[in-house]
Structure 1
Amino acid sequence: MKNIKFTRERFALFAIILISAVLNFANLGIEGYGNSYYAAGVKSMLASFRNFFFVASDPGGFVSLDKPPLGFWIQAISAKIFGFSGWSILLPQALAGVISVVVLYYIVKRSFGKISALISALCLAITPVFVAASRNNTIDNLLVMTLLFACMFLSRAAEKGKFKYLLISLVLVGVGFNIKMLQAYMVIPAIYITYLISTAAPLKKRLKHLIVSTVVLVAVSLCWAFAVDMVPSSSRPFVGSSTNNTVMELIFGHNGLERLSSTNGGMGGGPGGNRQEGNRNSFRQNSSSSNTQNMPQNGNNPGGAMMQPPGGSSGTGGGQFQNGSSGENGGNQSQMPPGAGEGMGGAQGRGTGGPGGNGLSGNFGGQTEAGVTRLFSKNVLSDQIVWFLPLSIFGFIAAAIVEKLKFPFDSKKKLDLVMWILWLLPEFIYFSYTKGLFHQYYLTMMAPPIAALSGIGITYMWKLYRESGAKAWLLPAAFIVEGLVHLLMLSYFASSLPAAAKGAIIAAVTLCFASSALLIIYRLIKRDNLNVGKNINFAKALSVLALVGILVTPALGSSAAVVHGVNGSMPAAGLELLSNSSSGDFMRNSGGRNGSSSENKKLIEFLDSHVENERYALVVSSSNAGASMIIESGKSIMPLGGFSGSDKILTLNQFKEMVKKGEIRYVLTGGMGRDSQDIMSWVQKNGKLVPESQWKNTTSSGSSATEETGKAEGTNEISGTDEAANTSRSDGTNEDNNVENKNSWGNGFGGMGMNSQSLYDLKGTIK
């Protein structure tokens, strides 16, 4: 301890780590279980090693989650150690966020020094989408952390020409593949090109290293997939969101080509969409007039995000989904997993439908206009990642000028610059132009290279500013463009932001502009190089003030997540969260509900007293229809159609055989299982209808008179007409208040509500 010196650098680093820890961990309980689909999967994985290994989505091991295992294994281990709770499954992601900040600091410092490293770490720590992903059980920031470690070893491999470092780097990418599949390969161009152009080893040796490492990469990436696919299908869960019950098809289908080419944010096949266009269209047509009638709503839920169709209307196919909460950590738990809301119209909203509360929405490639300006345009992507993007581009240009970025690439600074820009550019192009499926929280993948190039660029632009000539204008130009982008973002949300937040943002942008203007004037006055004395100190102070000015707004947007909580299905922070939180107290009352929902509770009690030796306590249409009940009770519930009902897992004859064997007795019809319609029709025709008074708390649905009025008028009971919804948004009232008496927390199962569902008893149906 005596040898540890508490320098200003270490103090600054400690402060940044503390900021990251506060943003990621503070008030984490308001997030509830995060995404209920994944949370139910983690609880199911704790039931047996079989469920753990195959990443089962339900305690009975009927169907798996639609993602690879590693991220959820880590969550399950955390839940095993600390007990299953919202906090224990969110802990790994929050910790990964803090670790990522430290790793980024280390990588940047190694080549570019402590000032660049500190600025980079701070930019990453306060990037809104990065904070949002850290406070949710989506596993993207576990992947980000893994890829940062991979780049740390790549940097050494490129500098020293050492095979062992390259091998470790690509092994880590393979590990990342087992967290989020092909998303991990987005850094492959950076790794391969950076190592290939390095000069520390002969070209033939580098090629040999890359070939051998690639073989290892593929082996590590596919080891779990091969292991699962080698197991007979009868001895493992169905591979969720696959078309042929194999992980390999899941990799290249739903989690592969569909991310590149699909233009639908549809219902099936797991978070993000559907593989089957016909089924999706059928679902939308069949559900627009029925399922949206009784969409649930958690009146007290701070994160009750309403999934709205593009444009924010509540019309056909666009029922508003509320994130319910259940269990002891039920604060901001999503009752609709990623992708569920999208199929009903597509976008994530938080009470207002998008920026500024104007009903704007659309967060997939097919729902936002493709082009270089997509991330800056008025949509739900806009305020998540662009805060430091212009600064990173200006910074890269400045660094490339100073370092003379051209062959030979014989220094670690040159190589690291190539690494960061090749991490950033492919992702920027993908997210700007793809028409495939993606969610706004995927943008967290861009946060590390943007933060790194921003921190690196500040120091290089300062170096150029001190010199005479045209290059000196890069620094004030970068700050001015940054300020303009911040004003653009503010314009999207100005009408709904709290006055204090709006004032702080305007003051910060003004500080940035004023400092930039003074930098320009000062540079015009002082035409010689700024090297010593008061001249350089004054300019340095102006640069610091301008930097502070561009840090305030993203920091404010990120801190909104600490107070208001993020959407469980599609986590996002930024001004969108801050603006929507001002429209009603539901965003502030973040504690959620303790205990089970009354409707789930009564059905659970019914099953406790009536289920005998059946293998499955209940059959529901989809995973997200049973997620909340699995979280609350841990009962063996069969999600007949997988994630959202689009998986064709059982034929009618197979289902009948299970009924005959006594493995299935109770079936809850309704919901989103359109691919299992033949089975549900048979159940309704042959099963015995259980009176609602035995399993449904009819008093929790509120005033029957109100319900009947809504039905008689033909309105959507949750969202009402488009005009009513828009009126609610514009006058700043909480839509929860309008519907609380109609369906008090009637989220039932996965957001579909129980008013449209019926319970059937199949005992004795088949002799």
Structure 2
Amino acid sequence: MTTENSLRWRRLGVCALLLGTAALYLWRITINGMANAFYAAATQSGSTNWKALLFGSLDPNNFITVDKPPLAQWVMGLSGRVFGFGSASMLVPEALMAVGTVALLYAAVARVGGPRAGMLAGAALALTPVAVLMFRYNNPDAAMVLLMTAAAYCTLRALEPARGARWLAMAGVALGLAFLAKMLEGLLIAPALAATYLIAAPVAVRTRLCHLAAAAAAMVASGGWFVLLTAWWPASSRPYLAGSTDNDFMNLVLGYNGMARILGRNHEVTVPELADVPDLGTQVRGWSRLLAGEFAYEIGWLVPASVVAVVVVVIARGRAPRTDRVRAATVLFGGWLLVDGLVLSYMHGTVHPYYSLSVAPAVAAMFAIGLQQTWVHRESRYQRALFVLMSLGTGVWSWWVLGRNAHWLPPLRWAVLAVAVLAAAAALGVPARRRVAAAAAATVAVAAALAGSGAYAFATAVTPHHGGAPSVGPARRGVLTAQRGRSVVDVDLDALLEATHTDWSAAVDRSTNAAVLELATHTAVMAIGGFSGLDPTPTLAQFQRDVSEHRIAYYVATSTGSQLGRNARSHNDIARWVAFNYAARRVGTDLVFDLTVPPRQP
């Protein structure tokens, strides 16, 4: 085949990969509706108020933010401003981020392993169930992973002569923006990027260190400007930074979204209706977490083969030059998988299985690089056996994972096992010199390895998902999708809040309760205590002042109650003050206090 024809087929293959990804991720995307109401309410607010968009406010009158940085809200909010707020305008940008992530991963892996390896990496990522779940959802994870993958791509480009400093600086910028998507989780890839450049860049050690310092400065600049903005902007004229204890952004970074996530502080499940949700319940903490429970369905399909691939490639390239690109890519993606995977596996705090999206590109890349490296050296029986080990092992593991949901398409798991075994036998038995037959056997073996993950990915795409703890795949017995707080709104309460003309139509405990009310009524609702209910805002004095100035129409005591824990004393004080001074009436399942009437006389 001529070079021109080869290039044409390569372009067609890439187009097919990206169009297929777009079709899968955009197909019936609005079945997820508002997805996570918490972020949907912030998107709605950002689509109507510029300050709310800038800070990621939950409500358009800027009482409190969501408990994450606002980068993802910027994308969805701007889309809402252009196209009008709705499910499609909010979720389509997330799906397009998937296409961008697949394209970047293809480009990164293809630079070291060739176009076929790049195609396999892109396809493996596109068919990862947690990727299908979260790139069709409105959580900030999609934007974070897109930027992490961009940083990986830029780092591999930085290993090329002449433009290393520029590309490494771009990697730093991408990491800083990933920080603005989901704080420290977006920076977990940084050690792998730094190690890769320090080991493999084709320049002197001193130059490498200088380039890394410049990239670190670029990262601080691209993420740090927002930190400075929140510090310099008067606190009295911006929303409270949810999740912080003192309205300081770095407190949120290092506390609630930092060490508290890892050590488990202040991340207890305090809401009764979430006690039975699998991913918020008891989890096995340790090295096997990514292979057990809900994690296995979301990310575990290719993890064993990817870990084997890291070991195999590092050993095989042990005597290669320092600047060897394949080993460098393995340090990058293997290091990413190691650091991020260990944090996910051993963290004590609330850990949703969908957090595993952060390692999905690394898993897909190592799966592809490992298979490509063993395939190109298939003349060696040892390398051919390793290829069979990874492909057949993945097929057998998929058979096992599918068996844990045995009532769903029972024939599928046996078909995966049968095809994987037959293809592995053919790949092992066909002589390497019979290139067409060997390639056909290898292709079938790889397809069987991806079949389980792919089937769950398609099932995820066609199943509606809602709330704060979505799960992949088809609906499963005993598995609930829960939204913290209220899930429905009474039509009478809707009408009551829609008729108000105050700054906030109502005040209610916790952001998720406020979010559902905002989405239903298109009014601003004050979220007392933020997402966890533990944020020290508003104080009783602040709440009393807002009531006296007629800025809040109603106080809603929801059916989920105000079980905010020991640290919510100030919010319980608000509830007691309201109950003592104002009469309540029941609207649906809620108690509603009218704050526009004069309080009771003592």
* TM more than 0.5: yes
**How far apart, CA to CA, are the structure 2 residues paired with 1:259 and 1:431?**
10
In structure 1, what is the equivalent of residue 123 of structure 2?
122
Provide the rounded CA distance (Å) in 1 between the counterparts of 2:268 and 2:201. 48
**1:413 Cα offset (Å):** 2.4
User: Which of 349, 354, 357 is residue 436 of structure 1 equivalent to?
Assistant: 349
Q: Tell me which residue corresponds to 2:373.
A: 460
Is residue 134 from structure 1 mapped to residue 42 from structure 2 by the alignment?
Answer: no
Q: Distance in 1 between matches of 2:348 and 2:67?
A: 21
Change (3 A) 1:657 1:36: same
Instruction: Name 1:151's counterpart in structure 2.
Output: 152
SS at match of 1:387: coil
Matched AA of 2:511: S
Q: Following TM superposition, by how much is the alpha carbon of 1:672 offset from its aligned partner in structure 2, in angstroms?
A: 4.6
SS of equivalent residue, structure 2 residue 192:
helix
Give me the whole-angstrom Cα distance separating, in 1, the residues matched to 2:419 and 2:507. 60
Alignment partner of 1:492 is 2:391: no
Matched AA of 1:649: T
How far residue 392 of structure 1 moved from its aligned partner, in angstroms, is 2.0
Cα distance in 1 for partners of 2:227, 2:129 equals 33
Matched residues in 2 for 1:400 and 1:598: separation? Answer: 53
Q: Which residue is 1:187 aligned to?
A: 189
Secondary structure of the corresponding residue to residue 504 of structure 2 = coil
Q: Indicate whether 1:410 and 2:329 are aligned.
A: no
Deviation, structure 1 residue 105: 1.0
Q: Return the alpha-carbon distance in structure 2 between the equivalents of residues 608 and 462 of structure 1.
A: 64
Q: d(CA) in 1 for partners of 2:43 and 2:175?
A: 24
Unpaired runs of 5+ in structure 1?
268-279, 285-316, 320-343, 348-360, 588-596, 697-753
Match for residue 206 of structure 1?
Answer: 208
Give the CA deviation at 1:686.
Answer: 1.1
Residue equivalent to 2:493: 603
Residue 502 of structure 1 corresponds to 410
Cα deviation, 1:384-423, whole Å, max 9, x if unaligned, reads 1121222223333443344x23574223223222211111
Match in the other structure for 1:759? 593
- Cα 1:665–1:519 shift into 2, 3 Å: closer
More RCO (CA 8 Å, sep 6+): 1
Distance 2:207 2:365 in 1: 30
Question: What do residues 266-288 of structure 1 show as CA deviations (whole Å, max 9, x unaligned)?
Answer: 24xxxxxxxxxxxx5xxx6xxxx
Q: Take 1:454 and 1:636, find their aligned partners in 2: how far apart are those partners?
A: 47
Deviations 1:179-220 (A, max 9, x none): 111111111011111111124111111112212322332232
Q: Is the deviation greater in 26-35 or in 660-669? A: 660-669
Q: State how far apart, in whole Å, the 2-side matches of 1:121 and 1:48 are.
A: 37
1:709 counterpart residue number: none
Give the secondary structure class of the aligned counterpart of 2:240. coil
Mapping of residues 639-658 of structure 1, within 5 Å? 639-658=527-546
Report the counterpart of residue 707 of structure 1 in structure 2.
none
What code does the residue aligned with 1:554 have?
Answer: S
Does the 8 Å contact 1:689/1:761 carry over to 2? no
Q: 2:72 corresponds to which residue?
A: 71
- CA pair 566-615 structure 1, distance change in 2 beyond 3 A: closer
Correspondence 1:448 to 2:355: no
Structure 1 contact 132–573 (Cα < 8 Å) conserved: yes
Alpha carbons 1:159, 1:198 under 8 Å: kept: no
Q: Which residue of 1 aligns with 2:308?
A: 394
What is the DSSP-based 3-state SS (H/G/I as helix, E as strand, rest coil) of the residue aligned with 1:20? helix
Output the CA distance in 2 between the equivalents of 1:8 and 1:391: 28
User: What 5-or-longer segments of structure 2 have no aligned partner?
Assistant: 482-486
- Which residue matches 2:219? 217
- TM-score with structure 2 length normalisation? 0.91
- Would you say the 8 A contact 2:403–2:413 is kept in 1? no
CA deviation after TM superposition for structure 1 residue 578, in Å: 5.2
1:263 and 1:490, CA in 2 relative to 1: closer, same or farther beyond 3 A? farther
Which residue is 1:309 aligned to? none
Change (3 A) 1:5 1:194: closer
Computed over aligned residues only, the root mean square deviation of the Cα atoms, in angstroms, reads 2.5
Q: 1:213 to 1:5 in 2, by over 3 A?
A: closer
Does the 8 Å contact 2:95/2:136 carry over to 1? yes
Structure 1 Cα separation of the partners of residues 53 and 157 of structure 2: 36
Partners of 2:265 and 2:532 lie apart in 1 by: 18
* Other-structure match for 1:371: 286
Quick check: 1:568 aligned with 2:501?
no
Q: Which amino acid aligns with 1:503?
A: P
What letter is aligned with 1:17? L
How do 1:254-403 residues align onto structure 2 when only pairs under 5 Å count?
Answer: 254-262=256-264, 265-267=267-269, 280=270, 317=272, 319=273, 344-345=274-275, 347=277, 361-363=278-280, 367-377=282-292, 379-402=293-316
- 2:579 pairs, out of 672, 679, 684, with 684
Q: CA deviation at 1:123?
A: 0.6
Structure 1 segment 636-715 matched on structure 2, within 5 A: 636-670=524-558, 671-673=560-562, 674=564, 675=568, 676-690=571-585, 692=586, 696=587
Give secondary structure in 2 for the equivalent of 1:646: coil
Q: Are 1:514 and 2:422 matched, yes or no?
A: yes
- For 2:29 and 2:492, the matched residues in 1 are separated by 29
The answer on whether the counterparts of 2:41 and 2:519 sit within 8 Å (CA) in structure 1 is: yes
Identity %: 26
Partner amino acid for 1:472? R
Tell whether the 8 Å contact from 1:509 to 1:550 is kept in structure 2 after alignment.
no
C-alpha distance after superposition, 1:339-382 (max 9, x if no partner): xxxxx3263xxxxxxxxxxxxx2457xx31122222222x1211
Q: Identify if the C-alpha distance between structure 1 residues 764 and 447 changes in structure 2 by more than 3 Å, giving closer, same or farther.
A: same
Alignment of 1:704-743 (within 5 A): none
TM-score (norm 1): 0.72
**Number of the residue aligned with 1:32:** 33
- Label 1:193 to 1:50 Cα distance change in 2 as closer, same or farther (>3 A): same
CA distance in 2, matches of 1:608, 1:97: 37
Of the three residues 162, 171, 179, the one matched with 1:177 is: 179
1:242 is matched with which residue? 244
Match of 1:557 in 2: 456
3-state DSSP class of the match of 2:414?
Answer: helix
CA contact (8 A) 1:395 1:461 kept: no
SS, match of residue 639 in structure 1:
strand
Taking the aligned partners of 2:228 and 2:83, their CA distance within structure 1 comes to: 32
Quick one: distance in 2 between partners of 1:224 and 1:206? 28
Q: CA deviation at 1:655?
A: 1.9
Q: Does 1:474 align with 2:386?
A: yes
Range moving further from structure 2, 445-454 or 10-19: 10-19
Q: 2:396 is matched by which residue type in structure 1?
A: L
- Aligned residue type for 1:387: W
Please give the alpha-carbon distance, in whole angstroms, between the structure 2 residues aligned to 1:104 and 1:763: 60
- Which SS does the other structure have where 2:96 is aligned? helix
Separation in 1 of the partners of 2:427 and 2:95?
A: 39
Q: 1:448 to 1:598 in 2, by over 3 A?
A: closer
Deviations 1:430-475 (A, max 9, x none): 222222332111111111111111112222112333224x343111
2-side partners of 1:687 and 1:39: how far apart?
A: 32
Aligned CA distance change for structure 1 residues 6 and 168 (closer, same or farther; 3 Å): closer
